[in-house]
Amino acid sequence: METRRIGSLEVSAVGLGCNNFGWRLDREGTRSVVAAALDAGINFFDTADMYGETRSEQYLGEALGSRRGEVIVATKFGWRLDDQRYGARPDYVRRAAEDSLRRLGTDRIDLYQLHRPDPETPIAQTLGALDELVRSGKVREIGCSGFSAAQLREAQAAVHGGAARFVSVQNEYSLLHREPEREVLAECERQGLAFLPYFPLAGGVLTGKYRRGQPDPAGTRLTAKPGAGGRFLSDRNREVAEALAELAAARGRSLLDLAFSWLLGHGVVSSVIAGAMTPEQVRANTGAAGWQLTAADLAEIDRLAPPLTD
């Protein structure tokens, strides 16, 4: 498995998103998926305190067990858990970190990420609290999620001296959602930030299992709850996904291969984080990386899934 950098951390180019743990996967299901990821060479596990109503962190920690030292664990804070636990106030940052450490059963968080901007708290205050956690050894690196280029610049300007700064940003990015290309990817280049795409498979549309004119498969993430498909299952997305699948097939590859390899072709992308429900899905994801797309391939992709224009 190829590895790339997130600050001082060396992570597998394919990571495992843990948002299914504690929701769609129970303890045993989590253990089997985590074991498959470790066997496949994945060392980067991305969770959040709010995933599975806090159970994701707990199940992940239990599943890693004695192998915790072999991996990079990323988690997030800031999403509302209840009326007291939300946001990025310094006192809550410290509380949230302690809670995550306890649930994960570990003494350190490798990458601690602000899950979304908190308009009620100056970013300098949040960064100050995160710097304390880094200095104490409870956190190794810090990152953010859902930040615009302007917010990334604001955060950079708030750091002085040798204080901890964001080393990564995690935003939605896929062949069907190219918004980061407007400004965020360029800002990552400028600041030397790692970019971590979430929803890299557009909720599963880029696996090829949702097709026009055919019933959607039952029990998937997008069909498990009424309305969950939302924007992912639009006619436009289905049409583009089918066209991309044909492109990949013409080159002897799968749509999954294309989705992963296209993202990893961007130098600022450090790891493609995708969830999995089964060991088979884990193995499919890890096998999807490594296709070196040509200039002709990229031009055809842009024709079928056009980049955004102003």
Q: Which residues are catalytic?
A: 51
Half-sphere exposure of 150 (CA within 13 A, CB side): 0
Please tell me the distance from the alpha carbon of residue 35 to that of residue 138, in angstroms, as a whole number.
25
Residue 28 burial by Cβ neighbours in a 10 Å radius (0-12, 13-18, 19+): exposed
Radius of gyration of the chain (CA): 19
Contact 22, 66 (CB under 8 A): no
Note the residue count of the chain.
310
